[in-house]
Every structure is written in C-alpha cells, then in structure tokens.
C-alpha cells in the first residue's frame, strides 16, 4: 500500500468519542486563560513591572495557552480530567490568596464584596471572550490538523467517518460559528445602498476563500498529498464551504431579520433533515461508491453546506445577542446564565434527535450535528465568559488591571489605559485575532510541509509532541511578528 493510502486509512473509519469528553476539552482552555491572567496579576502584585519584554510575553502566552492544548490532545489526553481538576484547584487557591491579601483589607463580608462587584461598571466597547473564542477555535484547529497524522493523537478525537462526535468534528462546526459571531449582520453594521448591492459586496468579499480553495485543490493534486475523500469530496474543501456559507447566509439575512436568524437556522436544518429522511439523499451521500461527475465526486461538501449555513445563522443570532451594550457585571452574569440555559436546552434537544431520528453526522451536517455544534459552542462561550468575569474579580481585589484581552472596570486611569494598550501590542491572542485567516492558512501550509519531511506514522510520542510544539511556535512567532509591527494582512 502506498504511503498516501496508509495515511488516509489512518484517519478513516473512525467513530469519535463521547459528548462528555468533548465538553471536558472545552473547560481546559478557559482555565488556561484564567491561569495566565492570575499569573500576570500575581507578578504585578509582587512589584513586577508590566509589560514584560516582547519575547517574554510571547513565551508566557505560548507556555500557558498553547502548550497545555497540545499536551491535552496528545500525552495527557487519558488523564485530562485530572489536569483540569488540578488546574482549577490551583486557580482557586490563587484567587483566595488575592482576596485575602487585599490592600486595604476587604470591608464587610465576602457576600457584600460580591454584591459591590456585581454592580461594577465594565468597559462596554468590546466583548473579550468572543475574541478569545474565535482565537482558541483557530488555535485548536491548527493543532489538530497536524496532530491527527501522529499516532500520539487519540483516534477518538479525529473526524468520524459517517456518524459520531469527534473533537475535530466539533472544530469544523465551531470555526463556522466563530465567523458568524462577528459578521456584519451580528454586529449590527448598517449597510449602505440597497440590499442587493450589499449582497453583491458580500459575494465579492469571499474571493480570497475561493482562491485559497482553488490553490489548495491544485497543490494537493500536484503533490499527491494524501486526501480523505469522504470529508468533502474529490475537488471540494473547507475553503469552498466557508465561501458558500457566507454568500448564502448573506442572501438569507438580506431578506429575513437578524433577530429571527435562530428560527431560520432551525427551519433550514429541519427541512434539510426531512429531505434526508424522505428521499434517497442520505444513501447517496454515505453509501454511494460512485464518484462520476461533479455532484457525485463532491457530494459531502456540497450537501453538508446546508447544515453549515444553519450553524452560521445560529451563530449570527448568538453574536447579535452578545454584541448588545451592557455596562454592569450583573448584566454579563445574566448573559452567562442564558448561554448556559441555551446550551442545556440544546443538549436536551440533541438527545431527542439522536434517539428519535439519527446520531450526529459531520459528513452530512445533519440536524443532530447542527444542534450539537451550537450547544457545544454555547457551552464553550459560557466557560470563557465565566473565566473572564472571575478574572475581572481578581483584577479588582488586587487592584491590578493589567491583563490583555479581558474586561477592565470602566473609567480606569489614563496611565492604566496606556499600559493595557502596550500589553495588547505584545499579546499572542491579539496577534492571532488580527490575522486569523492568515494564521489558518499558515497552519495548513506548515501541516503539508511537515508531512513531507516527517514520517508522522512512525514517529515516537516524544518526537511527535516536539514537532507539534515547534510547529505551533513557528506559526505563533510568524503571526506575532506581524502584530508587533502593526501589520494586518487583508487585501480584500
């Protein structure tokens, strides 16, 4: 068997993992984010001067945000629950110490301190956990697309063949969701001119995705790089899906109101599932072995786009809700609660769908897949928003607001604002956020290059982790250099 065929077989016919394990993985990243913030607060409290050196900040962010994610899907995957418990205990201990060592000492009870905190005004011009969600989805995707080719990466985390819930299955849907959260419709940006001209503008704006899809297709065919055909088909790839989703969603939202996009998402995914159940489409996508003609050759990519459009529309609804102006901590705590309730309601709906209709299928992007993706994304957003609020509490009790990409109390001193701006300039999260598409493209290029020079299947676990860390460090360094030099690669 040729090497390419061996690699395809290595990532084929997989069944995924449990819903609980995927959810467990969504808890680690927020804890890492909180740990990184508490470290900077503790450092500043011990008379440390912020910002640190440029290289030091990159090292801190890489060590505390990227490395744990690499380890969690490789050598620590079997004890991830213990890692999370240990990290949560450490964060809680630091929080207790910060609260007990306030200067001046806290007045009144802990409950009265919480009440004052809940009525604190926060900066209302940004929603930091949305930025972090988008960045972490991108980072996790970058790690997974290379890690999956190594044996140290658990097979249960990889994309499933026809049915199942793998970590990478969620990553694909979450990437679409992340784009929807900050799209123009979700941010309430007014469009100039007619709706038709806005739609034409959106169609033209996806040309980089189409170009990247074509370049990926040509490079794969020319190099003989291994391809898992049942992911998207022979000629289709994820860049084409992103382009189609953006155009179709823009067309729908030019007709229907944004505030009703959740209903549109439900109707679209429900109608698609009805078609799957009442026609021969399901058998055509999964069981048909023929690959003649463009439609047959790319049936997974073409038809699954319907489900991704539904996920995108749901993401627009969530983004519209999160982008509304709120000024008090208690208002954002209500948002956290609503995100959790929404996630729970969708989990119940998912159980019903999987019991009465069919299991999750990324390959078809069926109704269960859409519900699972949105439910899991809401849970991830809940964890991130809660971590951000806890970090804000730690900032207030320690009188140290110098943590990048997190909330700050409104009305801070001008000197504090200057320091926070300097911290943003050396922040890895802000670096990836600034050039997200470029980071994703760079990760894809580096994945292909690594596979050509490294025999991933025969690599030891130690060597695989070393390669993954080096790969992520190079990606991070490239995007970090662009950021500190104030360079944004956007030519469309």
DSSP count for the chain of H helices, then E strands = 23, 0
CB 87 within 8 A of CB 376: no
Q: Phi and psi dihedrals of 193, rounded to 5?
A: 85, -165
Three-class SS string for 264-277?
HHHHHHHHHHHHHH
Does the residue 319 lie in any domain? yes
Looking at the DSSP assignment, which residues form a beta bridge with residue 328? 121
pLDDT at 310: 97
pTM: 0.95
Does the residue 489 lie in any domain? no
pLDDT at 290: 83
Instruction: State the residue range of the domain holding 254.
Output: 3-484
CB 468 within 8 A of CB 143: yes
Q: How far apart are CA 127 and CA 326, in angstroms?
A: 10
pLDDT at 6: 79
Does the residue 261 lie in any domain? yes
Does the residue 492 lie in any domain? no
What are the DSSP calls for 438-457, one per residue? HHHHHHHHHHHHHHHHS-GG
- Low-confidence residues of the chain: pLDDT under 70: 1-4, 104-108, 190-196, 198, 224, 226, 411-417, 491-492
3-state class (DSSP) for residue 17: strand
pLDDT at 433: 95
Does the residue 139 lie in any domain? yes
Residue 338: how many other CB atoms lie within 10 Å: 13
Q: How far apart are CA 154 and CA 148, in angstroms?
A: 8
**What's the number of domains the chain is made of?**
1
User: Left (φ > 0), alpha (ψ -120 to 50) or beta: where does 97 sit?
Assistant: alpha
What digits encode the pLDDT tens for the residues 322-336? 999 888 999 999 999
Q: How far apart are CA 354 and CA 368, in angstroms?
A: 7
Does the residue 25 lie in any domain? yes
**Residue 409 burial (CB < 10 Å; 0-12/13-18/19+)?**
middle
pLDDT at 198: 67
Does the residue 224 lie in any domain? yes
- Which pair of tokens denotes residue 379? 């849970």
pLDDT at 112: 82
Does the residue 490 lie in any domain? no
CB 440 within 8 A of CB 132: no
CB 351 within 8 A of CB 345: no
**Residue 125 burial (CB < 10 Å; 0-12/13-18/19+)?**
exposed
Q: How far apart are CA 210 and CA 437, in angstroms?
A: 13
Q: How far apart are CA 470 and CA 450, in angstroms?
A: 11
**Cα separation values, 169 from 148, 200, 384, Å:** 12, 31, 20
Residues 17/21/27/31 CA torsion (nearest 10 deg): -100
């Amino acid at each position: 068997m040729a090497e390419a065929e061996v690699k395809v077989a290595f990532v084929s016919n997989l069944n995924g993992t449990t819903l609980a394990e995927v959810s467990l993985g969504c808890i680690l990243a927020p804890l890492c984010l909180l740990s990184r913030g508490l470290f900077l607060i503790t450092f500043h409290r011990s008379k440390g001067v912020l910002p640190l050196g440029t290289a030091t900040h990159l090292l801190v962010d890489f060590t505390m945000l990227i490395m744990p994610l690499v380890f969690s899907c490789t050598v620590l995957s079997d004890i991830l629950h213990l890692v999370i418990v240990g990290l949560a205990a450490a964060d809680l201990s630091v929080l207790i110490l910060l609260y007990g060592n306030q200067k001046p000492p806290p007045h009144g009870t802990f409950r009265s301190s919480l009440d004052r905190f809940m009525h604190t005004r926060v900066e209302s011009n940004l929603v930091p956990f949305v930025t972090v969600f988008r960045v972490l989805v991108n980072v996790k995707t970058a790690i997974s697309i290379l890690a999956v080719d190594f044996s140290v990466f658990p097979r249960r985390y990889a994309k499933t063949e026809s049915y199942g819930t793998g970590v990478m299955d969620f990553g694909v849907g979450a990437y679409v969701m992340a784009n929807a959260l900050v799209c123009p419709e979700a941010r309430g940006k007014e469009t100039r001119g007619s709706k038709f001209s806005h739609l034409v503008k959106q169609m033209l704006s996806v040309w980089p995705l189409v170009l990247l899809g074509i370049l990926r297709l040509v490079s794969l065919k020319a190099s003989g790089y291994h391809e898992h055909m049942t992911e998207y088909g022979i000629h289709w790839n994820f860049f084409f899906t992103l382009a189609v989703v953006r155009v179709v969603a823009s067309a729908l939202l030019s007709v229907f109101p944004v505030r009703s996009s959740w209903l549109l998402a439900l109707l679209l995914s429900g109608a698609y599932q009805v078609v799957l159940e009442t026609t021969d489409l399901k058998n055509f996508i999964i069981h048909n072995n023929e690959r003649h003609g463009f439609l047959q050759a790319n049936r997974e990519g073409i038809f699954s786009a319907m489900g991704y459009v539904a996920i995108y529309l749901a993401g627009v609804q969530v983004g519209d809700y999160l982008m509304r102006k709120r000024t008090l901590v208690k208002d954002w705590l209500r948002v956290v609660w609503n995100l959790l309730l929404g996630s729970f309601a969708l989990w119940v709906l998912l159980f019903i769908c999987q019991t009465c209709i069919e299991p999750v299928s990324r390959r078809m992007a069926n109704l269960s897949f859409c519900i699972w993706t949105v439910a899991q994304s809401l849970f991830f957003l809940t964890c991130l928003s809660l971590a951000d609020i806890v970090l804000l509490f730690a900032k207030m009790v320690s009188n140290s607001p110098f943590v990048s990409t997190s909330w700050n109390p409104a009305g801070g001193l001008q000197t504090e604002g200057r320091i926070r701006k300097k911290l943003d300039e050396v922040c890895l999260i802000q670096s990836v956020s600034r050039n997200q598409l470029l980071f994703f493209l760079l990760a894809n290029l580096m994945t292909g290059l690594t596979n050509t020079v490294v025999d991933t299947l025969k690599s030891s676990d130690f060597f695989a982790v070393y390669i993954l860390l080096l790969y992520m460090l190079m990606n991070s360094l490239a995007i970090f250099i662009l950021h500190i030099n104030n360079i944004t690669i956007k030519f469309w």
